[in-house]
Structure 1
């Protein structure tokens, strides 16, 4: 009786995988040599799998499709992790270079609606190289044609059957998406501007492939172009892969564009709600630093000239983030200015009136605040705080916190009242007022944060102590060496410095 021999795996399943591309486990092969064959050279023999059984061909094709989907999944996963427009453009350039088999590239963000922002990112190209490429006229065969030839998506023009189009996606006119532009050989391509050939020779590229960053729904956002060192162009499979990736990348860029525009709008509103400039009052020099988060917090500051050469200084924070917190902050700051003009010599009365207003108009919101009535000529300060961190005095002989009484934030008690504190800064000393965001952005415990703040203020170089702006900058650099990450949600940071002469 004959024994059964083990059956090996099909030949197609044992086929070797292509090498990795640009560090990505991609199955897209390296770009083939697309130059014309030499005269007299016989054509290449047909592929070895041409005579393979249909089942093996189907297995190979399925394996190739699965590998392509895996590659696209890896690339899109990397793209979706980007949180900024520039970061996303750089990722698109790197992934696109791997898919089309190029080494260098350029991405241009230029939304068709003209509302910005605009940006140009290069891969393997210096800043001067990007400027040189941008001198190429937007003519036939140039990737600039993609930027000029695609309108933005807009409302559908009413026709005989749509005199009253229904609101929603059906009333939006899809924009026509242009086809990619492939230039196989810059030297022989017809219709190119002479400047295009000149730039290609100077930068050392011989071919290019331009892809529109556009969809029918989003309209045109920009374009990406990759450059080959030798005459070449992506084959049909590569075109298909980069087309799929480009559509996904455009949708991701459109989302990031909306977030960036919303962030800019919030930042603009926040800046308009805060003082446009600090007042000039004899005997004191002022400086302020305001760092805003991506959602826009409710931290604020104010410096208000008062009668008889006095000065009102205030910092505070409203609970919450976003437009509602900004609106509440604006109302609270405007009210405090009015109370400061009427009874600024009594900081307790100012904060008591502010607490009553907050409790009556916005019972679901709380706030912290610190108001100081300063007389620079006498170097005298009277201040009161509601749930706020104490000021810090920085001078040649001392760096210490002002002892203030503990009190609850505004809106937390039925009736707020706390005693005021009087302070007499010496000539040359700087008083730092700050919001809780400066403490919480460090990520440390409260006691450690206060110790770090005091150490940062004490380490201000002697040469910088006469400039309140330099003092504020040193403290911020010491506590937040990497700055305020705009992609991380959190409170704003306000640091107001007053140096008494």
Structure 2
């Protein structure tokens, strides 16, 4: 009599191929085992009960592995992190050491990128020199039919029809076999393809292929969401950049430079510099609360309004911010904003400043590096009527004034006193050889305060930095 068919267990498909460690079935004609009692010895290795337990153990082990890998994947928040996690998990499932994933959404809207595991950028460049039609992932991206088990090339160098360039690259990089799977999700279609490379002739077994296919099915759905997030972030960054000055004005007596970092959710930080009558210059930095399209749009409206007020009464920064506060309170009562506006007279090397809840400017030069103390004031939109006294800043020839948004210190992730100390040290440490160049000063300060662009703080914060050097 044959062994009884395994009962269905919730969440486990009995049609899944048996795990590699499952023992052989009982021999045909064998009689069913007698149910054991408390005093009986454990069933023989070939007994039906042992077979069922072994299969269940294999399925549970596989499900546990997939659960752990998908848990790690779902914790990734950026597309680059998700692709790297996909490569690492896939390599563990198919028993490979290296691999690459080519992202090329079928809708043509991007982003298009190639990320490698255990492959340097130069290695990826070598692989890209191989004709696309000769690569397994190229055939997938070109829309050629692929079986459910992917494309296995167990011994590349032994294939007679292998493209000569592919043979040369494989020998140079030291891989002898590959296994490739398509990356596609329901509703979005093809996203790309993932390939894993073996150092020796090899190919994944049936169980490995099945688990890798299950994992990529889930991974593709998660990556499709990350692709949409990445596209949204790119659109937000583009929209924010379009609302900011594409270039700064040239005014005798001063040199200007700027830096702007947009957070992944899109924020409302801005900077501005505009020529004013009498050879003066209006300087502004500010930030609107919130994030997303609403904050970016509010930033654009606020910046445009400030420019109008600056042209009409820029010589009085307090009046400019008072008008801006009234506009914000009447038109967008649910929002608040911080702002710093300065009326700059390059010929006198003087800036008259007024701030609303904003961080103080930083003056740096050969002989001194110090914060310019502005009057303490609430942000715009927080009080029934805003007004605070202005201050005057007198610079020396060759000194640079740094105006920045609060995101610069918040992105450090440090307490306020330490963050401002880091900023002060960065400005004081600008090499003497580049102090004459405000662009180099701004770059040095930004890279020193935020060495990785976000440091350990909140990368969602926008950063705007405006450097003004007096000649």
CA distance in 1, matches of 2:108, 2:148: 19
Q: Distance in 1 between matches of 2:397 and 2:106?
A: 57
SS of residue in 1 equivalent to 2:340: strand
Of the three residues 392, 408, 416, the one matched with 2:378 is: 408
1:78-119 Cα shifts (integer Å, max 9, x gaps)? 222222222222222222122122233221111111111111
Asked whether the 8 Å contact 2:152–2:179 carries over to 1, the reply is yes
Q: Which SS does the other structure have where 2:305 is aligned?
A: helix
C-alpha distance 29-96 of structure 1, shift in aligned 2 (>3 A):
farther
User: Equivalent of 1:108, from 102, 109, 113?
Assistant: 102
Q: How far is 1:68 from its partner?
A: 0.9
Q: Is the aligned partner of 1:461 residue 2:443?
A: no
User: Match of 1:413, SS?
Assistant: coil
Partners of 2:175 and 2:467 in 1: CA distance: 55
Q: Is the 8 A contact 1:139 1:193 kept in 2?
A: no
Q: Which one of the candidate residues 345, 362, 365 is aligned to 1:375?
A: 345
Counterpart-to-counterpart distance in 1, 2:137 and 2:19:
24
1:91 aligned residue (79, 85, 90): 85
Q: Aligned residue for 2:267?
A: 297
With 460-469 and 302-311 compared, the bigger mean Cα shift is at: 460-469
User: Secondary structure in 2 aligned to 1:102?
Assistant: coil
Deviates more, 1:391-400 or 1:314-323: 391-400
How far did 1:198 drift?
Answer: 4.7
Alignment of 1:57-206 (within 5 A): 57-139=51-133, 142-149=136-143, 180-186=150-156, 192-206=162-176
SS in 2 for 1:308: coil
Which 5+ residue runs of structure 2 have no aligned equivalent?
A: 1-17, 28-45
Cα deviation code 1:363-415 (max 9, x no counterpart): 11111111111110122222211222222221223222223222222112222
| CA shift in 2, pair 1:181/1:357, >3 Å | same
Contact kept in structure 1, 2:100 and 2:195, CA below 8 Å: yes
1:188 Cα deviation after fit: 5.7
> Structure 1 residues 282, 88: closer, same or farther in 2, change over 3 A?
same
Deviates more, 1:418-427 or 1:259-268: 418-427
Matched, 1:219 2:189: yes
Equivalent runs, 1:178-327 vs 2, <5 Å: 180-186=150-156, 192-327=162-297
Pairwise CA distance, 1:323: 0.8
Task: Provide the TM-score with structure 2 as the length reference.
Answer: 0.85
Native 8 Å contact 2:353 2:391 kept in 1: yes
The RMSD of aligned alpha carbons is 2.7
Structure 2 distance, partners of 1:398, 1:106, is 51
Deviations, residues 97-142 of structure 1 (Å, cap 9, x unaligned): 2212223322111111111111112233343332333333344773
Corresponding residue SS for 1:305:
strand
With normalisation by structure 1, the TM-score equals 0.80
Query: How many residue pairs get matched?
Result: 436
Deviation per CA, 1:238-283, whole angstroms, max 9, x where unpaired?
Answer: 2111110110111111111111111111100110011001111000
Q: Secondary structure at the match of 1:90?
A: helix
CA distance in 2, matches of 1:120, 1:419: 55
Distance 1:414 1:47 in 2: 80
Whole-Å Cα distance in 2 between the matches of residues 474 and 198 of structure 1?
44
